[in-house]
Structure 1
Amino acid sequence: MASRPGPGFHPHLPGFGHQFLAKALGASMWFFIFYRARQDGSKLLGLSHPWEAHGHGHHDDHGHGEHH
């Protein structure tokens, strides 16, 4: 006995192009999230302060000269 589709919504399966695009966009999203987590994860989690990074606290490196 063959089953007939009943009433209602019967979506099509996505084509190869849509599947590939979905996987590519999803992968790039996760790569970007992991990249930003690597760069700023400790600041986001509160393990360090944003002003402690990159040596910005040293005023000697900016070339302002001597302050007398």
Structure 2
Amino acid sequence: MAGHHGPGFNPHLPGFRHQFLAKALGATMWFFIFYRARQDGAKLLGLSHPWEAHGHGHHDEHGHEHH
């Protein structure tokens, strides 16, 4: 029964365009995931708080020194 080829589900292999599109979309997904992990990985894992890692210097821009 294992060698029987008859009516039933016999899927064909995907064409070159579909294989290329699948690889391109998969690579784009992984590049985006690694980019976001680099940007927000510490916050996601709980190693830093979102309000600690701004790096924009908001406290100095609002003029808190002359109070």
Q: Where on the TM-score scale, by shorter chain, does this alignment land: which range?
A: 0.7 to 0.9
Query: Aligned-residue CA RMSD in angstroms?
Result: 2.4
1:55 positional shift: 3.4
Gaps in structure 1 of 5+ consecutive residues? none
Q: How many residues align structurally? A: 65
In structure 2, the partner of 1:10 is 10
Gaps in structure 2 of 5+ consecutive residues? none
Aligned ranges 1:1-68 → 2 under 5 Å: 5-55=5-55, 58-63=58-63, 66-67=66-67
1:62 positional shift: 3.1
**TM-score scaled by length of structure 2:** 0.79
**TM-score scaled by length of structure 1:** 0.78
Identity %: 85
Q: Which moved more, 1:22-31 or 1:53-62?
A: 53-62
* Higher helix content, 1 or 2: 1
